[in-house]
Amino acid sequence: MSSVSTQEIKKEFLKSKLGLTGVFILSGLILVSIITISVIPASTFQEWNNPEKWISYPKTSVPSWVNFLSSDKIPEHKIINAEVFQSQENGIFLTSQQFGVYFDYDDFPSDFIFEMKTKYTDSHIVQIKVIRPDGITLELLSTSLPHSDNETIHNQRYFSTDSMIKKNLNTYKDDFGFDFKIGTTEIIFSELYQNQIQKGNYIFIVDIYGIGKDVEVLESKMILGGKAYGLMGTDELRRDLAIGLLWGTPLALFIGISVSIGSVVVGLIYGVYSGYKGKKTDEVMMRFNDVIYALPALPFLIILAVTISNSIFLMIGFLMIFSWVGIAKVSRSMSLQIKTRQYIEAAKIMGQKDSKIIFRHILPQLLPYAFASIAISVPAAITTEAGLSFLGLGDPSFPTWGQILHDANTYGAAAQGFWWWIVPPGILIAITGLAFVFIGNALDAIVNPKLKR
């Protein structure tokens, strides 16, 4: 094999359009990974499987950019923060939280939730009302915070599905020109004369009255449940898919690259040593190689994942077991050729150690081939891991693309038409694979070891 210098490889590579495309895609993916790791808090993926975390998100919402493509605007899921006003009159303290929302969608919001965290003593009265675009004010709820003698911090949620709200709305029945046998949001956001969406500014007001004592609002938000959310939508478990997909990128790169580097290094050293030693050593080592080669990989990976562990790091190890074999075969035949060269013979006669000959004189010559094989073997590692995750054998503490697809399959995403749950993870897997295939093919064409087989 003619050794190609790094300079030459670089020059040739820059000429290859395919290779450059691959590098371009890969740098994009790396950039996404870096941004994800540094910007998005790690708690988001640690709590990926914790339903508590995602409770204020909508269920199976389409990505919000869908609204740009269609004429019918799907209501977006909104989390609105309060503006808090405080006043005092005759010893009665009023804390008023106001949530303003401009609603101009073509469908009713599915529901709304008020969430607040308050610090208070004694008892306080809570009143919720809404001022609609047509100027009508609807009283929704009158209730009180639970009585407490000591200072206490209290979490409270008010749901639009509360039966009290429905009851209170019934008092306005005569003002509306339609039957009230519908959900509360469909009444609140409706025109008077018929059940049609009234677009415009809505102001939701949560008033807390306290006699002689003030209440401190620590956190307060209103969730207006829609059917569109974020860049990538959400899944059945209300998780923001954008976060899962973003975290999937560094994970896929990590799995793919570590498996391929690991297996190429092992395969290279194994093959070169076997070829260099020859005779009995070679025979034994190659028989072992044949054994691993003939093991059916996927069934074994499944058994290993089920019986030993499905931790992502062990998975990487298991994947390595099955992927170094081919590289060992090729590098053995390469080293068989190189070892007949005269300078190797010379080094041997001079009494250099075997390890030194292998690491100094043989391995460096195989480096270009090694880089090409690293790039080429990444996609297989990524798809195999994705496949295992898809079967539900993935590491539950890390959201990978395969696991997102597994969830999509379990919850029947295809049957219910949740395309945003199925399409993006697969495309990302394919794009990542393609980037490495492009780079690998370009390198392979330059290095072109005709010794293969």
Q: Which residues of 184-206 are buried (b: 16+ CB within 10 A; e: fewer)?
A: bbbbbbbbeeebebeeeebebbb
Place of tokens 């794009």: 431
Taking every pair of C-alpha atoms in the chain, what is the biggest distance, in angstroms?
107
List the x/- string, 271-310, binding to another protein by CB under 8 A: ----------------x--xx--xxxxxxx-xxx-xxx--
- Asked if 336 is part of the footprint of another protein (rule: CB under 8 A), the reply reads no
Name the nearest CA neighbour of 388 among 281, 261, 302.
Answer: 302
Contact between 386 and another protein (CB under 8 A)?
Answer: yes
Q: Which one of residues 430, 445, 448, 451 is an interface residue with another protein (CB under 8 A)?
A: 430
Nearest distance, CB of residue 235 and another protein, angstroms: 14
What is the rounded distance in angstroms from the CA atom of residue 215 to the CA atom of residue 195?
A: 38
Which listed residue (426, 445, 448, 451) binds another protein by CB under 8 A?
426
Of 65-73, 83-91, 265-273, 384-392, which segment contacts another protein by CB under 8 A? 384-392
Choices 62-70, 114-122, 358-366, 389-397 (CB under 8 A): range interacting with another protein: 389-397
Q: Taking a C-beta distance cutoff of 8 angstroms, is the pair 393, 314 a contact? A: no
Among 116, 138, 140, 437, binds another protein (CB under 8 A): 437
Can you tell me which residue has the tokens 């009283």? 139
Work out how close the CB of 276 gets to another protein at its nearest, in angstroms, rounded to a whole number: 17
Q: Which is nearer to another protein, 185 or 373 (CB)?
A: 373
441 binds another protein (CB under 8 A): yes
Location of structure tokens 């503490």? 397
Binding mask 238-277 for another protein (x = CB under 8 A): ----------------------------------------
> Closest separation between CB of residue 279 and another protein, Å?
11
Nearer to another protein, 190 or 383 (CB): 383
Task: Judge residue 103's burial from the number of C-beta atoms within 10 Å of its C-beta, 0-12 exposed, 13-18 middle, 19 or more buried.
Answer: buried
Q: Does 405 interact with another protein (rule: CB under 8 A)?
A: yes
Smallest distance, another protein to C-beta of residue 414, A: 4
Exposure pattern of 14-52 as b/e (b: 16+ CB <10 Å)?
A: eebeebeebbebbeebeebbeebeeeeeeebbeebbeee
Strand blocks (E) in 104-226: 111-131, 137-159, 200-211, 216-225
The number of beta carbons lying within 10 Å of the beta carbon of residue 144 is 12
| Min separation Cβ 306 and another protein, Å | 6
Kindly state the helix (H) or strand (E) to which residue 98 belongs, with its residue range.
Answer: strand 92-103
Q: Given the complex with another protein, which of 253 and 304 has the nearer CB atom?
A: 304
If binding means CB under 8 A, how many residues of this protein chain bind another protein?
43
Give me the residues that bind another protein (CB under 8 A), please. Answer: 287, 290-291, 294-300, 302-304, 306-308, 379, 383, 386-387, 390-392, 405, 408-409, 413-415, 417, 419, 422-423, 425-426, 429-431, 433-434, 437-438, 441
